[in-house]
Structure 1
Amino acid sequence: MTSSTLPSPVKKAWRSSLKAIADLRLAIILLLLIALFSISGTVIEQGQSLSYYQSNYPEDPALFGFLTWKVLLTLGLDHVYRTPWFLSLLVFFGSSLTACTFTRQLPTLKAARTWKFRTQAAQFEKLALSAELDRGSLNSLLPLLEQYNYKVFRQEDALYARKGIIGRIGPIVVHAGILIVLAGGIWGAMTGFFAQEIVPSGETFHVQNIIDAGPWAKGQIPQDWGVKVNRFWIDYTPDGNIDQFYSDLSVVDEQGAELKHQTIAVNTPLRYDGVTFYQTDWGISGVKVQLNNSPVFRLPMAPLPALKGRFWGTWVPTKPDLSEGVSLLARDLQGTLLTYDRQGQLMGAVRTGQGIELPNGITLKVVELIGSTGLQIKADPGVPLVYAGFALLMVGVVMSYWSHSQIWAMQKGDRFYLGGKTNRAQVTFEREVLQILEQVSR
């Protein structure tokens, strides 16, 4: 059933609803609400653990007197862009734009494309810019209008000309661009995911540590391929500060065959099959050591949060019964480790490839310090739609700057009437019309 076949009361209610939804004030309110909650999603960290929010948004004292971790989680501010109320705002705003397009913009475009002739002198008096001449003809006016790029329509002694119809199409294109951006945002929220992984050098991993994901994101999480961290390393400045850290990655299939190879760094991610891998963090996962002429063995290193700064440590047994040993501490991957005895006394420093003599006559050699890369993994299938929408939006904005100018003329006996109007650039249009009048009157 279409609106034309609806009963009169229903049709009236339908039109009233469309008019209310298409109201500009409602669209502005919705846009401000979307902007406000988008800002909150930028300020409040998204997709963190419960302990993180309990630590940063305690109940006493509450942030701003009311914002606690309970309020934050209840409202869904830890994943704003996937909450039902935020998605509902996007849908409602999109509905308002759609209603405005069909009830205002399309009828305006249709009216602008309709040929309208003025055949009475009184009709010219209603125009903002009009003139009555005792000389002039449509035959002389027509080539002048074409010279100014007007599209001319003539009917006997009446003439209508227009240009800049693209300016009427521009707002429709703007609305279409915004709707595509909204659709991309909704699609990305429903199908995208966000994950984090800490992976030691030399290991292969599959995306498993999902921090946040949309309800339809399962199909985006890679199942038939993984990523191998061939090597992780850090470049340091001469004064010992971190300059940049890198991960040499290979995308591999289930049989281990390489599908793509790339070295990533901060702001240089790896993209494959719609999934993006960002270099965001690093750590020390282990150390390879040798005692005298023993085989080289690998020990894990764990972060030591009790110490000021970033430190990793491990314990190296020096007797088979594990009754004796030393501790190794490292703060970076430059290759220097500090050695401590069981009493916590510093015994000395040792670099990778070198050894240190222990009191029991054993030589402890550090063969290799193994780093681990911190990767942030994202998939957002809505991004292409968002980019396309923004591109269309920019095109529509440029199109909207075109002036839609209209000129009418009528020749009646020895009198010649000419008038016109435009929707923007009024001064430029007036000068143009005056130049046309001057040439016609000659």
Structure 2
Amino acid sequence: MTSSIRGFTRVLGWISDLRLAIVLLLVIAVASGVGTAIPQQETAEFYHRLYDPQPWLGLLGGDGVMALQLDHVYSSGWFLGLLAWLALSLLLCSWRRQWPALQAALRWIDYRSPRQLSKLSVAETLATPNPNSSLDTLAQLLQRQGWQIQLQDGRLAARKGVLGRVGPMLVHAGMVVLMLGAAWGAVGGQRAEQYLAPGRSLELMDSRGSSRLTLALDRFAIQRDPAGRPEQFTSQLRILEGDGSEGSLLKQAQISVNHPLRFEGVTLYQADWALAAITVQLGKSPLLQLPLQSFPQLGEQVWGLVLPTRPDGSEPVLLSLSSEQGPVDVYGADGSLLSQIAPGGEPVEVKGLPIRVESVLPASGILLKRDPGVPLVYAGFAIALAGGGLSLLATRQLWAIAEEQPGQQGQLHVAGLCNRNLTGFAAELPQLLSQL
């Protein structure tokens, strides 16, 4: 029985070891870096297309990335296990180390002899004709400086900065709450990315499949630098009640990169952009708005469509573009570049068919994210910051004993302890005694 208790105590000591907590923090930081480097929660096809030709770090193909759950690091079993392990380590550390330290700081210790004081870290002896009067004066000085005082017959105990002992416990508690919020968000959160073209809307369903809100996009703009590279995307949104048929407007706002919209627990991020449709005129036909599709085999941001040039559907050409500003490249069946068409410009004859591009409709890539753990994450940060601030407070303890010596000059023995900046405390004590 005794050996079992000793073994259990050793295990608790190992789990609550500060070195283990530091190692766990480093492992979690590395895992978070992997989750940042590898795109998360994409389709299996995406990972095969991305990592099969060129394995990640030269080691992991698409199957390897998914087998190790690197495609969803933050909700993987091993990552949540690391968080739980670290949380347990911090709780045990607080229970075994910080809580006893706080109890010791709150407990009044009564030193009765000058010999006991001489063994403390900082000790001074002041010769005085009236030790008891000097002791009363010292008590008044300490009280004016914010010390808590316990005065007895010929003895004094004082303490200051006891809240500093609460700081480490609050830091640990804040980290545990933060990790709990992160785990809850990873497991219970929802994430979806949708592309919306201006003038179109998206119904947001609840867990029962009924329309809860409707998201409508009024306007989408892409700001580009002089070289034509996109710098910022801006979406003008309306949030309507239910399916939007009654037109009850709940919120109207603009989102852009790094400026999301939060509404009733849902966060809308401006995440990406795409090209949704192209409006063309073939010969004397009416304007035709045709959907565009992505062609990753031609480039990272290339959209287009295959368009026949004959009534029977023969002699098709590929219209390809990488920007809503154009130009639209026209390729033949053999892959040769036949012509280029400027959106809004004059028609260009392709294989005897005049083709005019009226406009290109861009689409806004909006990331919808519901994270129920966000309040806990913010609360954890606040608790940890408060604990970090309190941890900067030095906990000081001081004792004094008045010693009367019949026929001789008396002595006032003063000694103290401090958990931070002991050198500074040792320099302050003689200054304090000089005021007596």
TM tier relative to shorter chain: 0.7 to 0.9
**1:3 aligned residue:** none
Q: Distance in 1 between matches of 2:4 and 2:233?
A: 66
**1:214 aligned residue:** none
CA contact (8 A) 1:191 1:220 kept: no
**1:349 aligned residue:** 341
Name the aligned partner's letter for residue 46 of structure 2. Y
**1:81 aligned residue:** 74
CA contact (8 A) 2:343 2:359 kept: no
**SS in structure 2 at match of 1:351:** coil
**2:431 aligned residue:** 435
Listed as ranges, the matches of 1:1-400 within 5 Å are 15-58=9-52, 66-135=59-128, 136-137=131-132, 138-206=135-203, 224-256=212-244, 257=247, 258-290=249-281, 294-307=285-298, 310-315=301-306, 321-322=312-313, 328-334=319-325, 336-338=327-329, 346=338, 349-352=341-344, 354-356=345-347, 358=349, 364-400=355-391
Q: In terms of mean alpha carbon deviation, does 304-313 or 183-192 score higher?
A: 304-313
CA-CA distance at 1:13 after TM superposition: 6.1
**SS in structure 2 at match of 1:41:** helix
% identity of equivalent residues: 35
Q: In terms of mean alpha carbon deviation, does 242-251 or 151-160 score higher?
A: 242-251
Name the aligned partner's letter for residue 398 of structure 1. G
**SS in structure 1 at match of 2:120:** coil
**2:408 aligned residue:** none
CA-CA distance at 1:336 after TM superposition: 4.6
Coordinate RMSD, CA, aligned? 3.3
Return closer, same or farther for 1:304/1:175 CA change in 2, 3 Å cut-off: closer
Name the aligned partner's letter for residue 287 of structure 1. I
- Cα offsets for 1:319-360 (capped at 9, x unmatched): 6654577654433212654566788673563432x5427589
CA-CA distance at 1:57 after TM superposition: 3.6
**Structure 2-normalised TM-score?**
0.84
CA-CA distance at 1:171 after TM superposition: 1.0
Q: Is there any run of 5+ residues in structure 1 with no aligned partner, and where?
A: 1-6, 209-217
CA-CA distance at 1:227 after TM superposition: 1.8
Return closer, same or farther for 1:203/1:162 CA change in 2, 3 Å cut-off: same
CA-CA distance at 1:244 after TM superposition: 2.8
CA-CA distance at 1:118 after TM superposition: 1.0
**SS in structure 1 at match of 2:304:** strand
**Structure 1-normalised TM-score?**
0.83
CA contact (8 A) 1:27 1:96 kept: yes
CA contact (8 A) 1:198 1:375 kept: yes
Return closer, same or farther for 1:337/1:29 CA change in 2, 3 Å cut-off: closer
Return closer, same or farther for 1:326/1:140 CA change in 2, 3 Å cut-off: closer
CA contact (8 A) 1:105 1:172 kept: yes
